[in-house]
Amino acid sequence: MKTIKILHYIFITVGLIALLSMGAWSYKTYQFIDTAHSAQGTVINLIQSRSTSSSSTSNSYVYRPEVSFKTLTGDEIIFQSSTGSNPPAYKKGESVSILYEPENPQDAKINDTLSLWFSPVILGLVGLIFSAFGIGISIYLSKKEKLKNYLLRHGSPITAKIDSIAENTSIRVNGRYPFQVISQWQDPTNNTLHIFKSENIWFNPSPHIDQDTVTVFVDQSNPKKYFVDLSFLPRISE
């Protein structure tokens, strides 16, 4: 549970940082567009470079246009676009609209959506994804805690027989799997066998269990909602 809470804070923090960075970058881009001078340039070359999203064994490339233009003072500037694509977005010899700051014309940009807004969009997507994961974990933890408290107050306690101690291989953190106490109980009213799995335990509980049964609090209206009481196990030192 502590690990999940840490992940929750990490996702939320990274998401907020990315969204704040997106806001700052967007503001900077708006300022650039508002103060920049415009010019017409020509694509003089297409520079091939390895895609930053590609693995070391991949041969994926993008093509960044190299553009030549003249400032209002007549100076010829050659710059390479910070963004590229595959297939190329432009052709050699193609005329393109340019935005540049007179005091720093080398940092000119092609006046298109990709060149101007690529970084803010990526930051926004990263921020939304990480924030969504963080909020999702927060909602999950909150619902789980509410269900636990509800079952402890209103659930029907039953005595289930401990069947096994197993690793939960569906979750892995830092190369480790958590443990679960698996127990079972046969309902005498309808002869139905119920299997209960405890919450994840981040240490091997086997040496600390000297009993054959465990108390399970069950919602009688929905037996799929239950809580396995492991309060007898030692707590990990913080």
pLDDT digits (tens, 9 = 90+) for 29-78: 999 999 999 999 999 999 998 776 544 444 588 999 999 999 999 999 99
Q: Is the pLDDT of residue 125 over 50?
A: yes
Reported as a single tens digit per residue, the pLDDT across 149-203 is 999 999 999 999 999 999 999 988 788 899 999 999 999 888 999 999 999 998 9
* DSSP class per residue in 82-129: S--BSS-SS-TT-EEEEEEETTEEEEEEESSHHHHHHHHHHHHHHHHH
| Interval 81-107: pLDDT, tens | 988 888 999 999 999 999 999 999 999
pLDDT at 1 over 70: no
What would the mean pLDDT of 221-231 be, rounded to a whole number? 93
pLDDT digits (tens, 9 = 90+) for 57-70: 445 889 999 999 99
Q: What is the pLDDT of residue 14?
A: 94
Give the pLDDT of residue 194.
95
Average pLDDT of the segment spanning 11-17: 93
pLDDT at residue 165, rounded to an integer: 95
Stretch 5-15: mean pLDDT: 87
